[in-house]
């Protein structure tokens, strides 16, 4: 099976500052790495490849030139090929444009060797919309499943997956090709081998721009459909209260008093 994994290069930081004046993320100077959620999508693709003989894994990323580093990180893990979708005209595009570009890349790969499965992470750790996987499936008109925590079975024609929902687990059967986004519970990502790291440095990463993809400018133009009104950091949490008292009874008495003051009891 030909598997495509969509990966995004994102800041390797748990705290991305917001520019108060513009309401935009301040990304300059931050370290970059593979979106943590995408590590699970890559791992699952590699596991399926190991199960289904003759499979290949192609990694696609939409982003600037530096995103090539993250593609190489996946080649070091055992992915077979990488494609960087990049063009000055793609800068500033929104999720509509990004998913459109990914769908063009999948279609292009599909003409060379039919694609059976596209895997995405649940969300990115910067913009975190959690929509690309489903939007991509819509562009491709393929079945899709989100929040997948397990591939129960997969062959060339169909996949059975478990999807984690708030009230339980759904089991879904999907005809392939399909687009699936996965959650962290699905596996434990592997680490790269030294040999993999060395090989990934020399591997060729294809670069596709607007011309190679035949992208319509109107679909990727910045600010076309979605206006980013603002981004702000959540208000700082107030300090907690340390429950005083040497014994459990004293601590309980303090808590009861507090709950009474707050009129909870």
Nearer to ligand FAD, 120 or 161 (CB): 120
Q: How far is the CB of 100 from ligand FAD (least distance, A)?
A: 10
Q: How far is the CB of 113 from ligand FAD (least distance, A)?
A: 20
Tokens of 185: 């519970």
Residue closest to ligand FAD (Cβ): 121
Nearer to ligand FAD, 56 or 231 (CB): 231
**Is the distance from CB of 102 to CB of 136 less than 8 angstroms?**
yes
Nearer to ligand FAD, 75 or 241 (CB): 75
Nearer to ligand FAD, 116 or 133 (CB): 133
Q: How far is the CB of 70 from ligand FAD (least distance, A)?
A: 9
Sequence-separated (6 or more) residues with CB below 8 Å from residue 24:
18, 228, 231
Strands 158-165 and 2-6 come out as unpaired
Q: How far is the CB of 98 from ligand FAD (least distance, A)?
A: 4
Q: How far is the CB of 115 from ligand FAD (least distance, A)?
A: 15
Tokens of 196: 């993999």
Tokens 């340390």 belong to 242
Nearer to ligand FAD, 13 or 95 (CB): 95
Nearer to ligand FAD, 48 or 120 (CB): 120
DSSP code for 134? H
Partnered with residue 120 across adjacent β-strands are 181
**Is the distance from CB of 6 to CB of 38 less than 8 angstroms?**
yes
CA 175/CA 170 separation, integer angstroms: 16
Tokens of 203: 């591997």
Site residues (vs ligand FAD, CB under 6 A): 6-8, 35, 37-38, 41, 60-63, 91-95, 98, 102, 120-121, 123-124, 126-133, 223, 226, 228
In sequence order, what E strands does 176-258 have?
A: 178-182, 205-208
Q: How far is the CB of 246 from ligand FAD (least distance, A)?
A: 49
Whose CA is closest to 104, among 181, 205, 209? Answer: 209
Nearer to ligand FAD, 76 or 182 (CB): 182
Compute and round to an integer the Cα radius of gyration of the chain: 22
Sequence-separated (6 or more) residues with CB below 8 Å from residue 134:
144, 146, 179, 181
Nearer to ligand FAD, 55 or 70 (CB): 70
Q: How far is the CB of 36 from ligand FAD (least distance, A)?
A: 9
Tokens 């591939």 belong to 151
Q: How far is the CB of 176 from ligand FAD (least distance, A)?
A: 18
Whose CA is closest to 6, among 184, 189, 179? Answer: 179
């Amino acid at each position: 099976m030909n598997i495509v994994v969509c990966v995004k290069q994102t800041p390797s930081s748990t705290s991305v500052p917001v520019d108060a004046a513009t309401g935009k993320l301040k990304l300059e100077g931050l370290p970059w790495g593979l979106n943590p959620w995408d590590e699970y999508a890559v791992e699952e693709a590699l596991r399926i490849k190991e199960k289904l003989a003759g499979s290949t894994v192609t990694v696609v990323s939409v982003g600037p030139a530096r995103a090539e580093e993250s593609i190489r990180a996946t080649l070091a893990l055992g992915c077979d090929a990488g494609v960087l979708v990049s063009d000055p005209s793609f800068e500033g595009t929104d999720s509509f444009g990004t998913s459109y570009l990914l769908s063009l890349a999948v279609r292009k790969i599909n003409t060379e060797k039919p694609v059976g499965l596209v895997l995405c992470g649940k969300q990115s750790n910067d913009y975190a919309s959690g929509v690309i996987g489903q939007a991509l499936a819509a562009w491709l008109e393929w079945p899709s499943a989100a929040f997948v925590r397990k591939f129960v079975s997969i062959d060339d024609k169909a996949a059975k997956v478990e999807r984690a929902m708030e009230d339980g687990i759904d089991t879904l059967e999907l005809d392939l090709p399909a687009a699936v986004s996965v959650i962290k519970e699905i596996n434990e990502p592997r680490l790269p081998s030294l040999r993999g790291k060395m090989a990934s440095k020399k591997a060729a990463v294809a670069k596709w721009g607007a011309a190679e993809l035949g992208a319509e400018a109107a679909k990727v133009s910045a600010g076309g459909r979605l206006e980013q009104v603002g981004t702000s950091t959540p208000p700082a949490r107030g300090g907690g209260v340390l429950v005083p008292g040497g014994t459990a009874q004293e601590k309980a008495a303090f808590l009861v008093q507090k709950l009474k003051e707050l009129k909870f009891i």
